[in-house]
């Protein structure tokens, strides 16, 4: 099974991808996570991407498509893939079709998480993750059960992203509207798009995703 989670920054793609990974042993392929790892490691890709990401603009199609191809090659052929934050442009969507076909894979579902833009700034500015295992949290909407301790791994260090500020979010939303939302018709033409209400409670969103995957 190969699925794309599509939605603006803060829609809940990463949150839901982590849940599907735990339930189904699928693999989350987040180009944002891959790029942040490259920035941290100081690779040539990271050096090129850092300033672009801090501005909230899109990194080049060639860079992200190469990251995705490498990651798929490192996975078992039978492991399902959840694409989170990729593709983000029509050129990336076309590349993904080729990348998958070359590996004997095909897309099963493109799931759009619909959200009100007004809610996104609050979601993004309250977002943080466990520095040890990467589990996502939110200041208001998903706090650790024991304050200061990660539910999943017991870690006590947390981190916030430099681009998760109100100003950069506006640019990221504009990028989504201008470049990413227009790829939906490309997938609608293939008859594989489902829409889920991303404003619902996290568990209800997960239930909606599960029922799509079961079909």
Q: What are the catalytic residues?
A: 13, 88, 127, 161, 172
Q: Residue by residue, what is the 3-state secondary structure of the chain?
A: CEEEEECCCCCCHHHHHHHHHHHHCCEEEEHHHHHHHHHHHCCHHHHHHHHHHHHCCCCCHHHHHHHHHHHHHCCCCCCCEEEECCCCCHHHHHHHHHHHHHCCCCCCEEEEEECCHHHHHHHHHCEEEECCCCCEEECCCECCCECCECCCCCCCCEECCCCCCHHHHHHHHHHHHHHHHHHHHHHHCCCCEEEEECCCCHHHHHHHHHHHHCC
User: Does position 9 bind ligand ADP by CB under 6 A?
Assistant: yes
- Sites for ligand ADP among residues 138-197 (CB under 6 A): 138, 141-142, 163, 172
Phi, psi of 167 (to 5 degrees): -70, -50
Is 143 marked within a binding site?
A: no
Q: Is 157 annotated as a binding residue?
A: no
Residue 59 engages ligand ADP in binding (rule: CB under 6 A): yes
Indicate which single residue of 3, 39, 64, 82 sits in contact with ligand ADP (rule: CB under 6 A).
64
Q: Residue 52 binds which one of ligand ADP, Zn ion, none, with CB within 5 to 8 A depending on kind? A: ligand ADP
Shortest Cβ 60–ligand ADP spacing (Å): 7
Q: How many CB atoms lie within 10 A of CB 192?
A: 15
Q: How far is the CB of 153 from Zn ion (least distance, A)?
A: 3
Q: Is 150 in the site for Zn ion (CB under 5 A)?
A: yes
Does the protein bind ligand ADP through residue 50 (CB under 6 A)?
no
Please give the annotated binding residues for Zn(2+), written as ranges: 130, 133, 150, 153
Residues that bind ligand ADP (CB under 6 A): 7, 9-15, 31-32, 35, 52-53, 56-59, 64, 85-86, 88, 92, 123, 126-127, 136-138, 141-142, 163, 172, 201-202, 205
Please give the annotated binding residues, written as ranges: 10-15, 31, 36, 57-59, 85-88, 92, 127, 130, 133, 150, 153, 161, 172, 200
């Amino acid at each position: 099974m190969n699925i794309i989670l599509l939605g603006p920054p803060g829609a809940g793609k990463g949150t839901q991808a982590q849940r599907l990974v735990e339930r189904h042993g699928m693999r989350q392929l987040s180009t944002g996570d891959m790029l942040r790892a490259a920035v941290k490691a100081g690779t040539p890709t990271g050096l090129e991407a850092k300033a672009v990401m801090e501005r909230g603009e899109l990194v080049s199609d060639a860079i992200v498509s190469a990251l995705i191809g490498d990651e798929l090659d490192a996975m078992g052929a039978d492991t399902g893939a959840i694409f989170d934050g990729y593709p983000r442009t029509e050129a990336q969507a076309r590349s993904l079709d080729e990348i998958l076909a070359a590996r004997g894979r095909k897309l099963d579902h493109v799931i759009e998480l619909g959200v009100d833009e007004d809610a996104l700034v609050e979601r993004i500015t309250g977002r943080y993750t466990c520095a040890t295992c990467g589990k996502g949290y939110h200041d208001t909407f998903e706090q650790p059960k024991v304050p200061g301790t990660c539910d999943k791994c017991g870690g006590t260090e947390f981190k916030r992203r430099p681009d998760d500020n109100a100003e950069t979010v506006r640019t990221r939303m504009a990028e989504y509207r201008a470049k990413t939302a227009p790829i939906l018709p490309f997938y609608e033409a293939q008859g594989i798009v489902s829409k889920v209400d991303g404003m619902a409670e996290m568990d209800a969103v997960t239930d909606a995703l599960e029922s799509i995957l079961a079909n």
